[in-house]
Structure 1
């Protein structure tokens, strides 16, 4: 059911003339919107847009209107104004089921409700709720309140053999051994009268060789340890320190001594590379600009990882994309430049011809496109596959996750092409809307 003309929100449609504009106009009418202004952004003045007093502005994004949107920025940034962005190319070819689905989502945004189900399903009766009753629920013990004590004893004896045993505790062996037989006084006297086998005397101790160092390197003397007649606690004639046994302490050779005195470590730690080659990679395509904007808007100001945005643009106007993203996030947004080092907390728009490589100072951009996942350190990096991400990259991203990388994908409302992200969700990776992914990413990178 569409809103009436009195309750429908006034909408301004900003799009160049063509198929995209016609499709968006039809969608707005079907969604219950009241169009108060329909104009090409290149020919629209800010005063005319403000005079129309719309509450919602729907913009068809394409490279040809980027400069015009900057000119209308003062009006578009009005707090009371709700902005909806749609890619012109995608809107022009949306039809059938996909078009009806987008109209339902557009109607939910315009009318302020969350019902996006097809007609006929929005009034389905929910499952009946469980009727709550006052009082405590019945307990098993209540069934045996009046039972005699013997009933409980018999039940315990039956259940004892089915109870789990404690595998940690083992009874000592003496407790399991049979008790010794108690002998009478006469049996004890008879056992004592029996002859006891004589114990042979101990064998004399073998002489022990004690090495004694002398100046002439004489043979060590053999001193028997069994003779104690000459030993005493104190010698009155004076005390002489025994010569140090040179052979008892082995002095390592000079080369080994110098090696032992040096500072050794199993791993040489490079303090400059303590942070590792970590970064966050956002991969997007059709429907990606809005998803990237929402993710960047959810990142905190103290975000401690470089953020790489790989978004394919047919026109290649990445400079305008930098301006759009800079308005959505407190983080610095720049265009990647070959030879530039990646700085934690900065966002870089990555053109198709720019790659990333490792250097002694960390990660830096290079002039040739390469496999970005190979340059990133998995345990210090994360990958988000947003709307329109290339399905061919799913397998490498899952392999990256197997090495310890943090991987997630965008699904749900607003994701126009969730093919790649859905495969990540099936594989057990995190999935959700851009706001959820941004919050989870911030927690992961802060750990």
Structure 2
């Protein structure tokens, strides 16, 4: 296999500056072919198409938004994978952090999970081969002779076992059962039993009269006021069970208790996985989609624009006081939380961010994509135990699989982003009832 076939072809789209230099350095250490490096503002779609990249690494910033819209027909081509990085974050990344990010980038581009630094790779596993193992070499008699002679000389000096001494009346050789019998302790014979004296038979017991037993204190019952019995009778006759209905009780529950939602958590490598998930959802989804992906640069407006280009559902930035709308994607910033109300889910300002426990478990689906925070694993599994549907991303495209793998290992659903979207679409597509979790 030639070098051109072994190393993936990568196009780097970034404006000139520190971010572009950092990304170029990371790609130089990732064993890839940089088939194109250019500013997307001056790049023509045909030039990007002619370079035939397998991956496109993009440094996201507000200044290239219009250029990405112009290049969208090429960027959305089948078989082309996109890797997004915040330009501001890439520009200040250096040292250990830059090396770590570079290893994760190389793993994504080459489709493996090896992200450890050099020298920390896994030890090679022992490969077993069929067949019987070769017997060990037989010891040479000459080599053992010295030890045998030494053991013979020391035999008389070996201390005897003081725990057992044969009885004096026994002489070797004796049978083993005889030796055991001689060691048994002597049990003294029991004293002679006294002669029993004849006693007259005892009189039979007088039968106990239990006909007068009563679990109710008749004297106390007789003292019960008449109005107390009348009150009990009135309560029994006034309790009407004819109108009880489990269906009516369920319908009387506040709408917020049945408000379904799809919560998507992501992080490092999340934009690519999120694009694939949202792009595969149906336009008639019956529940709101909540997206929380931590961005160090905090440019959630850019994320909204990027996802709006691929999502069949409208994408908007969630704001405090706003209600989550079914069939829409709401991107949550770090300081936006959610609460269940009588008319559905509402967004509010919360310094702690999204609280998984605030969602109604029975009507919630939760998906952990690449880079999801490990701190969300525990609350996600608690929500699953209460009735929620929880899933984790797997596959080569999972850039940072720690949290997603943890929920999958706990027995939750697993799949590529497109596969998880198909499951959600089958359960929450148009005509679904009550928005219950899959």
Fold equivalence (TM over 0.5): yes
Summarize the Cα distance change of 1:74–1:304 in structure 2 as closer, same or farther, 3 Å threshold.
closer
Aligned counterpart, 1:58: 56
- Give 3-state SS (helix, strand or coil) of 2:407's partner: helix
Query: How high is the TM-score relative to the length of structure 1?
Result: 0.57
Aligned counterpart, 1:85: 83
Query: How high is the TM-score relative to the length of structure 2?
Result: 0.58
Matches within 5 A, 1:362-381: 362-369=344-351, 371-381=354-364
Q: Aligned partners of 2:398 and 2:347: how far apart in 1?
A: 30
Check whether the contact 1:322–1:335 (CA below 8 A) recurs between aligned residues: yes
Summarize the Cα distance change of 1:430–1:355 in structure 2 as closer, same or farther, 3 Å threshold.
same
Deviation at 1:24, TM superposition (A): 4.8
- Give 3-state SS (helix, strand or coil) of 1:292's partner: helix
Summarize the Cα distance change of 1:25–1:40 in structure 2 as closer, same or farther, 3 Å threshold.
farther
Q: Aligned partners of 2:12 and 2:25: how far apart in 1?
A: 11
Gaps of 5+ in 2: 115-232, 433-437
- Give 3-state SS (helix, strand or coil) of 1:45's partner: coil
Q: Aligned partners of 1:78 and 1:306: how far apart in 2?
A: 25
Identify which of 395, 413, 426 aligns with 1:430.
Answer: 413
**How many equivalent residue pairs?**
308
Matches within 5 A, 1:267-306: 267=249, 269-270=251-252, 273=255, 276-306=258-288
Aligned counterpart, 1:148: none
Q: Aligned partners of 1:371 and 1:101: how far apart in 2?
A: 27
Summarize the Cα distance change of 1:14–1:395 in structure 2 as closer, same or farther, 3 Å threshold.
same
Summarize the Cα distance change of 1:34–1:334 in structure 2 as closer, same or farther, 3 Å threshold.
closer
Aligned counterpart, 1:440: 423
Check whether the contact 1:9–1:55 (CA below 8 A) recurs between aligned residues: no
Question: Are positions 1:418 and 2:397 aligned together?
Answer: no
Deviation at 1:439, TM superposition (A): 1.8
Structural RMSD (CA): 4.1
Check whether the contact 2:44–2:71 (CA below 8 A) recurs between aligned residues: no
Check whether the contact 2:58–2:84 (CA below 8 A) recurs between aligned residues: yes
Aligned counterpart, 1:384: 367
Deviation at 1:418, TM superposition (A): 0.7
Aligned counterpart, 1:352: 334
Deviation at 1:438, TM superposition (A): 1.4
Identify which of 109, 120, 125 aligns with 1:106.
Answer: 109
Summarize the Cα distance change of 1:71–1:299 in structure 2 as closer, same or farther, 3 Å threshold.
closer
Higher alpha-carbon Rg:
1
Aligned counterpart, 2:22: 20
Check whether the contact 1:11–1:54 (CA below 8 A) recurs between aligned residues: no
Summarize the Cα distance change of 1:54–1:27 in structure 2 as closer, same or farther, 3 Å threshold.
farther
Q: Aligned partners of 2:423 and 2:298: how far apart in 1?
A: 31
- Give 3-state SS (helix, strand or coil) of 2:251's partner: coil
Q: Aligned partners of 1:286 and 1:403: how far apart in 2?
A: 29
- Give 3-state SS (helix, strand or coil) of 2:56's partner: strand
Q: Aligned partners of 1:22 and 1:405: how far apart in 2?
A: 43
Identify which of 71, 74, 77 aligns with 1:73.
Answer: 71
Deviation at 1:82, TM superposition (A): 3.2
Q: Aligned partners of 1:51 and 1:426: how far apart in 2?
A: 41
Q: Aligned partners of 1:80 and 1:362: how far apart in 2?
A: 38
Deviation at 1:316, TM superposition (A): 1.8
Check whether the contact 1:59–1:86 (CA below 8 A) recurs between aligned residues: yes
Summarize the Cα distance change of 1:375–1:321 in structure 2 as closer, same or farther, 3 Å threshold.
same
Summarize the Cα distance change of 1:105–1:376 in structure 2 as closer, same or farther, 3 Å threshold.
closer
- Give 3-state SS (helix, strand or coil) of 1:303's partner: coil
Q: Aligned partners of 1:309 and 1:355: how far apart in 2?
A: 11
Summarize the Cα distance change of 1:345–1:264 in structure 2 as closer, same or farther, 3 Å threshold.
same
Matches within 5 A, 1:4-19: 4=4, 12-16=11-15, 17-18=17-18, 19=21
Check whether the contact 2:393–2:415 (CA below 8 A) recurs between aligned residues: yes
Summarize the Cα distance change of 1:304–1:78 in structure 2 as closer, same or farther, 3 Å threshold.
closer
Q: Aligned partners of 2:414 and 2:26: how far apart in 1?
A: 29
Summarize the Cα distance change of 1:265–1:312 in structure 2 as closer, same or farther, 3 Å threshold.
same
Summarize the Cα distance change of 1:71–1:312 in structure 2 as closer, same or farther, 3 Å threshold.
same
Aligned counterpart, 2:297: 315
Matches within 5 A, 1:22-61: 22-26=24-28, 30-31=31-32, 33=33, 35=35, 37-41=36-40, 44-47=41-44, 50=47, 53-56=50-53, 58-61=56-59
